[in-house]
Amino acid sequence: MRLTLEEVEDLARTTLRRAGASEEQAGPVARSLRRAEAEGIRSHGLLYLPVYAGHLRCRKVQGQAVPQVAQPRPGAVVVDAAHGFAHPAIAAGLPLLLQAARDCGIAAMTLRRSYNCGVLGHHAADIAAEGLIGLCFTHAPASIAPPGGRVPVIGTNPFALAVPGEGGTAAFVLDQSASVVAKSEILLRARRGEPIPEGWALDGAGRPTTDPAQGLKGSMLPAGGAKGFGVGLLAEVLASALAGAVSSREASPFSGPDGGPPGTGQCFLALDPAAFAPGFAERIAGLRAAIEGQVGARLPGSRRRKARATTTAVEVPEDLLQQIQEI
């Protein structure tokens, strides 16, 4: 069935409300799902809605949670998501983060007792839309073993960088996980009964696999080997250890009912270019031109931006829609 983006958001909000979420919890998540669908990121769109609803019902997510925001120092914002969704907790703390960055030149916001925050690049882009550089980190339940090991220690642990552009937009958004591919991409293929490419994951015995079910039981492969693991370790330090969240090793899965609330965390940095040196916008313009001026080259996030500009409706698989309607 073909749904407009407005219908996608309405469907998501209604489903989350009926599963037990308050409007304050459901609204930001519904808008996030709409945004993911608009950019063609199907693995983070309506596909996740049954998971979110299931977690509300088994109380891995507290549907009536009220985030608590504090500012212990001028450049530090701390948010306790109270085991609710990450999106409303981020929205609650973001105004303080933005103001702190403008006052201090740089500021950080951490979240604890949080949850999956969806497309991390969206949050970085929201910071960039305010004229600030956004550098964001999040962590996830352990799914990547250290080089030479077999036992997962860190999650796919992405980071995102968004640079302010003209007219309240991001000049570009870099959003990538520590793994070769986001775990949600393997979940998507498992749901469709499709194999995964070699080089994405190992099975429980540490052997390469193209079976998504075996990959989910084993370990994701880090992008770039040891270097990818290092990126994930960076996110683990900031989004988990610094934030006071549980470690990736302790976090319950983002899929399925097992375990209590994941209790994961995020760390967002905001930097005001005007506090450091003049000419930032011109240097970014030159960097963009050096990339886009090459035949076949593109800026990070350009495909998402193009899809967002042209998408008004999306096709939703009938089986997924039926699953949502049953909720």
> What is the enclosing helix (H) or strand (E) of 2?
strand 2-4
Question: Average model confidence (pLDDT) for the chain?
Answer: 95
pLDDT at 183 over 80: no
Q: Which range is least confidently modeled, 77-81, 154-158, 217-221, 280-284? A: 217-221
Active site residue 219: no
pLDDT in the model for residue 18: 97
Active site residue 44: yes
Q: Which range is least confidently modeled, 101-110, 187-196, 315-324? A: 187-196
> What is the enclosing helix (H) or strand (E) of 162?
strand 159-164
pLDDT in the model for residue 150: 80
Beta bridge partners of 22: none
Q: What topology does CATH give the domain 2-179+222-290+300-326? A: Ribosomal Protein S8; Chain: A, domain 1 (3.30.1370)
Active site residue 302: no
CA 180 from chain center: how many Å?
Answer: 15
* Selected catalytic residue, list 39, 44, 252, 255: 44
| Residue 125 burial (C-beta neighbours within 10 Å; 0-12, 13-18, 19+) | buried
List b or e across 179-192, with b for residues whose CB sees 16 or more CB atoms inside 10 angstroms: bbbbbbbbbbbbee
* Selected catalytic residue, list 32, 43, 248, 255: 43
Give the model confidence (pLDDT) of 48-101 as tens digits.
999 999 999 999 999 999 999 999 999 999 999 999 999 999 999 999 999 999
Q: What is the pTM of this model?
A: 0.93
pLDDT in the model for residue 53: 97
pLDDT band at residue 207 under the 50/70/90 scheme: confident
The residues, any chain, with a CB within 8 Å of residue 291's CB and separated by 6 or more, are: 297, 298, 299
pLDDT in the model for residue 280: 97
Domain layout of the chain by residue ranges: 2-179+222-290+300-326
Of 92, 80, 161, give the one whose Cα is nearest residue 122: 161
* CB 160 within 8 Å of CB 136: yes
CA 44 – CA 188 distance, rounded (Å): 10
* Selected catalytic residue, list 37, 130, 185, 236: 185
pLDDT in the model for residue 187: 80
Give the 3-state secondary structure of residue 301. coil
Give the model confidence (pLDDT) of 214-267 as tens digits.
888 888 888 888 999 999 999 999 999 999 999 999 999 998 888 999 999 999
